[in-house]
Structure 1
Amino acid sequence: MAPVQQAPDRQALERWLADALGARSVTVTARSKLSGGAIQENWSLDAECDGGSHPGAQQWVLRTDAPSSISTSHGRAQEFAILEVAYQAGVSAPQPVVLCTDERVIGRPFYLMARGRGTAHARRITRDSALADFGPALAARLGEELARLHQVRPPVTGLDFLPVPQGHPAQVRIDRYRADLDVLPDPHPVLEFALNWLEAHKPVPNPVVLCHTDFRTGNYMVDDGALSAILDWEFASFSDPDEDIGWFMARCWRFGNDHLEAGGIARIEPFLEGYERISGRRVDRGVLPYWQVMAELRWAIIALQQGERCNSGTEITQELALSGIMSPEMELNILNLIEVAT
């Protein structure tokens, strides 16, 4: 069974924060577990700081390790470094506050960041009755934000832990996913077919940039129809910028709004126009189906890995069990994409 998630120790956290922020005292006035967090755990904190670098009333999110994780997820110190780079690049990421690597404080490394307004709940966003009114503008804004992130190119001070692809970025992904698939206990011929197709149809690569690598509906916050924060930087990597665009467009992240290619919130053109307005790069529309196949393949493998954790008895949860039976949906999406693209 999954380990029980316990609230961070209030007094230990207050003492550490007072010292780290140079405050006379820090009082946590409210704390609550936020929804989601299958891979990472998030706690909403309200606090009062007496002096220091963040005086007065504060609204934070404490982000730490969940009882389960996957191997491609960065640790908290690495994610904090990525968040700092994104925030300094002008991306609407939550403002990073402080990092703690001392596990004696709450039992796990953690960091604090500013708490965004609104909701990140994907189905709530894509089912909003006003989506037709705010969706295109939201998509354009998301395109602009992604373009700002993609202006960050290696080498980047503080991100030495992120490998820079040697050779074609797509081949790096193909090799990784083939290795991931090989260790799964059952055969998956559609996914093997997809890997072979991706290897045979690699597009001309773009210059490598800093990618969010999980840029999708569900990982940004919307407040009254407007973007308030881009979340979940735990998979960021250096890669081809079109990988981020293809992931955002993948059918598996449209949450039932299949006709709205931009994350289930709008058609794709407003998003691409926003992206091109900031990046100055014309996105090759003909290449995007390739990266959508890559996205569907990646999510199918992650779903199978999560299901195997449950099936093997390593961690038995309903969420992992349900994830494990999702791969046929992605396989169908892959076959449909390849049929159109060839």
Structure 2
Amino acid sequence: MTEGHKPLRDLLTELLAPALSSTGERPAITQLQRLTGGAAAQTWAFVAELESESHALILRLGQDQQQFGAALSKRQEAQLITAARHHGVLAPEVVVSLPEDNPLGEGFVMRRLAGEALPQRILRDDRYARARENLTGQCADNLAAIHSIPQTRLDNIPAMDADTQLDFYRSAYLGYPLRSAAFEYAFRWLRQHRPDTRDEALVHGDFRNGNLLVDEQGISAVLDWELAHIGDPMEDLGWLCVNSWRFGRRDKPVGGFGQRDDLYRAYERASGRVVKADHVHYWEVFGTLKWGVICLYQAHVHLSGSEPSLERAAIGRRVSECEVDVLSLLRGQQP
């Protein structure tokens, strides 16, 4: 650990002493390192060592000044993960949230679980061959569990129907200098084809390959809850099928590992809801446009100089992929 990590180490020591030890023993913070990935938040891995045991942990910090506007605060995210875990979702255990007015901003510490989150490895390594067979059904089961969480257990989670989200992403899109004919067409199509749904539930908002921790048997944890909201549960199914989250496996629209019909049947069994393909298609179109606008945002943060970042720049270059995908969907072709 470098001297530059000392303020973070000291804060974690103070924070975790009462959370990990009934006697208030101060843990030694070792193996502290920032992990790759995560353009919207910092993620740190470390070990908290007590005299009798060690705890492998993860620290999630929100980059509040550059957080995309629709995201939950880290405090809300921690509360939501805890509620989801209590309702049978495979979610990490939150150990403690950072107190207000600490120098690092909002964040929380959770248990570190075994598994792989990099989609390319999940989709290609022989180690995860059996997991790939199980993932579609496990996605359906976890989505059904998420969508069944009583709204009375959810505190200050925003409600976001199709119109509300279209307003938000349209406003964001107009704030960036690039104009896209494909995106303009998609915004108009989505306004004209809004599904008639009265079914509202907790929506994860970013349930996809890349936000799933996977071991040799399948999902070990559902990650990254910062875009959660109350809305149409079919939104999560459509987002899972967006082409960008297949990572080259275009023949397997569900995350690069499964087929839509299998996902729909498994979700119907687990949730008791009826899935209509055209309803999910609407949200796949929406998800493709949404990701395109987020790519514009990431490029803008980098190019404006407010936070130069190779990762943000690389994401920003994917706008053109979204344009091709959304036009393919609107022409009745599968991207």
- State the TM-score, normalizing by the size of structure 1: 0.89
SS at match of 2:43: strand
- Structure 2, unaligned stretches of length 5 or more? none
Matched, 1:121 2:118: yes
1:241 matched residue in structure 2: 233
Read off the aligned partner of 2:226 and give its amino acid letter: E
Deviation of 1:129 after TM superposition, in Å, equals: 3.3
Q: Is contact 1:137-1:270 (8 Å) kept?
A: no
Deviation of 1:132 after TM superposition, in Å, equals: 5.5
Q: Residue 11 and residue 322 in structure 1: after superposition, are their counterparts in 2 closer, same or farther (change >3 A)?
A: closer
Q: Is contact 1:77-1:101 (8 Å) kept?
A: no
2:31 matched residue in structure 1: 30
Deviation of 1:164 after TM superposition, in Å, equals: 2.5
Q: Is contact 1:145-1:275 (8 Å) kept?
A: no
SS at match of 1:9: helix
The structure with the greater share of residues assigned to helix is: 2
Q: 143-152 or 181-190, which moves further after superposition?
A: 181-190
Read off the aligned partner of 1:294 and give its amino acid letter: F
Find the aligned partners of 2:216 and 2:194 in 1 and give their Cα distance: 40
Deviation of 1:8 after TM superposition, in Å, equals: 5.4
Deviation readout 1:147-171 (Å, 9 max, x if unpaired): 00000243x34x3322234xxx211
Matched residue count = 327
Q: Is contact 2:128-2:216 (8 Å) kept?
A: no
Deviation of 1:89 after TM superposition, in Å, equals: 1.1
Find the aligned partners of 2:74 and 2:165 in 1 and give their Cα distance: 23
2:317 matched residue in structure 1: 325
Q: Is contact 1:136-1:267 (8 Å) kept?
A: no
Find the aligned partners of 1:288 and 1:134 in 2 and give their Cα distance: 25
2:80 matched residue in structure 1: 82
2:10 matched residue in structure 1: 11
Deviation of 1:184 after TM superposition, in Å, equals: 1.6
Q: Residue 311 and residue 32 in structure 1: after superposition, are their counterparts in 2 closer, same or farther (change >3 A)?
A: closer
SS at match of 2:331: helix
Deviation of 1:205 after TM superposition, in Å, equals: 1.3
Find the aligned partners of 1:89 and 1:153 in 2 and give their Cα distance: 9
Q: Percent identity?
A: 32
Find the aligned partners of 2:86 and 2:16 in 1 and give their Cα distance: 23
| RMSD (Å) for aligned C-alpha atoms | 2.1
Q: Is contact 2:130-2:216 (8 Å) kept?
A: no
Find the aligned partners of 2:230 and 2:150 in 1 and give their Cα distance: 8
Q: Residue 241 and residue 77 in structure 1: after superposition, are their counterparts in 2 closer, same or farther (change >3 A)?
A: same
Q: Residue 275 and residue 15 in structure 1: after superposition, are their counterparts in 2 closer, same or farther (change >3 A)?
A: same
2:62 matched residue in structure 1: 65
- Structure 1, unaligned stretches of length 5 or more? none
Q: Is contact 2:209-2:246 (8 Å) kept?
A: yes
Read off the aligned partner of 1:44 and give its amino acid letter: A
SS at match of 1:74: coil
Q: 282-291 or 248-257, which moves further after superposition?
A: 282-291
- Given candidates 94, 97, 114, the residue that maps to 1:96 is 94
SS at match of 2:29: strand
Q: How does 1:283-298 map to 2 (within 5 A)?
A: 283-298=275-290
Q: Residue 200 and residue 12 in structure 1: after superposition, are their counterparts in 2 closer, same or farther (change >3 A)?
A: closer
1:148 matched residue in structure 2: 145
SS at match of 2:187: helix
